[in-house]
Amino acid sequence: MPVRTVLKMGHPILRQVAAPVERFGTRELAALVADLDDTMRAMIGAGIAAPQIGVSLRVVIFEVRDNPRYPQAEVVPYTVLVNPRLTPLEGGMEDGWEGCLSVPGLRGLVPRHRRLRYTGFDADGRPIDRTVEGFHARVVQHEVDHLDGVLYPMRMRDLRDLGYEDTLFPDGGALPPG
């Protein structure tokens, strides 16, 4: 399965509301997930959404492993999430730095719900139902926003908190983009 080109901010597909997946366990869906997987790993991302590779379907994947480059990142298990639904839980909002494979080189400070429940399905239609917080919750919110045509700068409160990764974090340590 090939590494696909990641669309960048400004591409109209990134502004679309993606369509739900209607058939699970198909070869087409497995191939899409494999391409997302290869592309996310090649780009060293924390997650990726199908519209970022030009497929306007409600499919995201994410994973954050123990990575010496990002020692402060919480581990997020490898997840394929189809037709997701998010329910914010009590706990308020929290600012955190994000990057996006579709907005290369930049980082921005983005408010997100600190805790949430997410449901959906894996590629074979098995249900997923998790309650998460912190970086896991942030990654899910970032990826699911892609399915609604939203990129993280659109969530920022103050564009003064948008900058280049190598300038904001000259010693490294920025979390991986999604």
Q: Pick between residue 7 and residue 30 the one whose CB is nearest to Ni ion.
A: 7
Supply the minimum distance, in Å, between the C-beta of residue 57 and Ni ion.
16
Q: Pick between residue 108 and residue 178 the one whose CB is nearest to Ni ion.
A: 178
Supply the minimum distance, in Å, between the C-beta of residue 23 and Ni ion.
26
- The region of 2-10, 112-120, 161-169, 170-178 touching Ni ion under the rule CB under 5 A is 170-178
CA distances to 126, 150, 164 from 36, in Å = 19, 19, 25
Q: Pick between residue 53 and residue 100 the one whose CB is nearest to Ni ion.
A: 100
Burial 157-166 (b: 16+ CB within 10 A, else e): eeeeebbebe
- In angstroms, rounded to a whole number, what is the distance separating the alpha carbons of residues 29 and 46? 20
- The region of 94-102, 117-125, 132-140, 158-166 touching Ni ion under the rule CB under 5 A is 94-102
- Which residue spans within the chain are E strands per DSSP? 47-49, 59-64, 76-88, 93-100, 103-113, 115-121, 127-133, 162-164
Asked if 178 interacts with Ni ion (CB under 5 A), we say yes
| 116 closest CA partner among 89, 95, 91, 97 | 89
The question of whether 98 is a catalytic residue gets the answer no
Q: Pick between residue 9 and residue 128 the one whose CB is nearest to Ni ion.
A: 9
Asked if 36 interacts with Ni ion (CB under 5 A), we say no
Supply the minimum distance, in Å, between the C-beta of residue 101 and Ni ion.
6
- In angstroms, rounded to a whole number, what is the distance separating the alpha carbons of residues 58 and 129? 16
Strands 115-121 and 127-133: antiparallel
- The region of 97-105, 107-115, 133-141, 167-175 touching Ni ion under the rule CB under 5 A is 97-105
Supply the minimum distance, in Å, between the C-beta of residue 47 and Ni ion.
7
Residue from 21, 61, 100, 109 that binds Ni ion (CB under 5 A)?
100
- In angstroms, rounded to a whole number, what is the distance separating the alpha carbons of residues 75 and 51? 25
Asked if 60 interacts with Ni ion (CB under 5 A), we say no
CA distances to 50, 115, 116, 131 from 90, in Å = 29, 7, 8, 11
Judged by the rule CB under 5 A, the positions of this chain that interact with Ni ion are 100, 178
Catalytic positions: 143
